[in-house]
Amino acid sequence: MTTESPPIVRLDLESRPQTLTIVRGMLGGVAELLTIDPELLDDLKTAISEACNNVVLHAYGGDPGPMGVRLFVEEDRLRVTVEDQGVGTPATAADRTDGIGLSVIRALADEVSLLPGPQGGTRMQMDFAAQRAGRRLFERPGVAGPDEGWAREGDDEIVVSLSPVTLLTGVLGRLARNLAATAHFSLDRFSDVYLVTDILAAHAATAAAGLRIDARLAAAERCLELAVGPFRSGTGARLQSPGADGAPSPLVLLSDELSVRPDGDDELLHVVVIDHRR
């Protein structure tokens, strides 16, 4: 397997302490759809947490900076890379992950490599075999579509690109709920975030424009913003249209802002959810 193959998940975010929870939540959502063996999932979460924590603590001198997590799935292995754009090199990355962190990663993964990052910095590459003692540890979801997804436009954004599109069902809700928690949503409004992401994931299952779906998420105090796409042109209107009884659609009722925006020949959905409690 080579890293030229498209990842099934590409997650780009800022390296802050709370991003470890976000990454672990993403893995949990993916695990359900790949039927990842629980023991392997525990190994993945621990190894990836150690790699991400290394970026948080050392890649930018303790300051935030760009971090990328990529998940590749092949018949014979599952590969995860954690990338930063820090000033370090693979050699200095080995120094900054010496001791318990790197030892844990090497104990859990079948292969570990420290490589130059695509935009400078360092890429830690971790490979996990598809079988243990003749038992398969995960199911391959099919060939991933080309990785031509969105880029982050601000430091506070999280961007995730997923293929196949069905991965959105497990991932979007977990990412959105993590952000809603940090934005201090009330319990009632937090529950609404579940419903909004379920609606968007269900829409993607039938209206996605291609083999890959992207989402951009950002949160401020009591405010959550999501953009999801690309969808086939004209499909978003049905999420805005009243029902047969004239009642507003569920997504209109749950969101404070809802718009369909052009995305080349396709379209994307932009949703804002605000907690108005005082």
Q: What is the pLDDT of residues 240-253, one digit of tens each?
A: 998 778 888 999 99
Q: How far apart are CA 79 and CA 91, in angstroms?
A: 21
Q: How far apart are CA 132 and CA 127, in angstroms?
A: 13
Q: Give CATH 3.30.565.10 domain extents, the chain.
A: 9-136, 158-274
Strand order in the sheet with 223-231: 111-116, 122-129, 77-84, 66-73, 9-14, 158-162, 213-220, 223-231, 266-274, 257-263
Mean pLDDT to the nearest integer, 103-127: 91
pLDDT of 14 strictly over 90 = yes
Q: What is the pLDDT of residues 48-59, one digit of tens each?
A: 999 999 899 888
The hierarchical CATH code for the domain 9-136 is: 3.30.565.10
Q: What is the pLDDT of residues 15-30, one digit of tens each?
A: 998 889 999 999 999 9
Q: Which CATH superfamily is domain 158-274 in?
A: Histidine kinase-like ATPase, C-terminal domain (3.30.565.10)
